[in-house]
Amino acid sequence: EPLAQTTEKEPTPRSRLFFPPPSAPEKNKLNCLQREPTHSCHLLALASTLSLSTKDPVATTSLLANFFQSIAQGTQNSEEVICAAIRILDPVTPVPPEVLAAVVKEAFGFAATVAKDEDALAEAALEGRRTVGSTKRSPRLLLTEVARAAEERDAAQLVGLVTASRAEAGESYWLIRLLQGRSGIARDTLHSAIARALISVQ
């Protein structure tokens, strides 16, 4: 999806993500390698962005650009976090479906058939999360740890991620989708969003 070169403005997204304001002083930036309240370094922020993009596809590039800007302007270790987000959105090799099915079953005791419907496994994970109950006491999942676990494909790590995921913003659903390599974001769109974020960050 090429960047717009006309004077026409991209339609404003119907829903807006809440991130810390770009003008936040340097001393207030969060250390994303520590456990913090919901912030752009958490998987939940990316899940929220992806959920909004499915409701407003035309605004996908703007939503992603806003997400990357929030990391760059509101967190420490921003380069590491942005790289993790990119690796999650565009993985070199997805986690095999048989591995993910076993992970979901171990995490929630929820058997999910690896069928032609690729969404079945992600939906089973979300249903399992809702059935088992809340994980409010668990630390928020970090983008960096999700990227690491996806690349290492360690079953124990993956089970830990899925178990700690939340129903909020469909995080459990999107975690499986991302591990499947099915973010729903075209590579051209991802590149355009990164470029737009770079142009916009002052």
pLDDT at 35: 41
Residues ≥6 apart with Cβ < 8 Å to 18: none
Residues ≥6 apart with Cβ < 8 Å to 196: 3, 61, 62, 65
**Terminal Cα distance for the chain, rounded:** 23
Average pLDDT over residues 95-122: 80
Q: What is the pairing mode between strands 30-31 and 75-76?
A: parallel
Alpha-carbon span 2 to 104, nearest angstrom: 37
Q: Quick one: residue 165, left, alpha or beta (phi over 0 = left, psi -120 to 50 = alpha)?
A: beta
Average pLDDT, the chain: 81
- For the beta carbon of residue 156, count every other beta carbon within 10 angstroms: 10
What confidence tens digit (pLDDT) does each residue in 114-138 have? 555 678 899 989 988 888 876 666 7
**Considering only CA atoms, which of 157, 163, 183 is closest in space to residue 47?**
183
Element at 31 (helix H, strand E): strand 30-31
**Considering only CA atoms, which of 114, 117, 7, 19 is closest in space to residue 66?**
19
With beta carbons less than 8 A apart as the criterion, state whether 170 and 53 touch: no
Average pLDDT over residues 11-38: 43
Higher per-residue confidence, 53 vs 117:
53
Confidence band for 55, pLDDT divided at 50, 70 and 90: very high
pTM: 0.79
pLDDT at 200: 79
Residues ≥6 apart with Cβ < 8 Å to 49: 17, 63, 64, 66, 67
Q: Is pLDDT above 50 for 21?
A: no
Residues ≥6 apart with Cβ < 8 Å to 145: 161
3-state secondary structure of 46: helix
Q: Is pLDDT above 60 for 26?
A: no
Alpha-carbon span 59 to 62, nearest angstrom: 5
Q: Is pLDDT above 70 for 23?
A: no
Confidence band for 162, pLDDT divided at 50, 70 and 90: very high
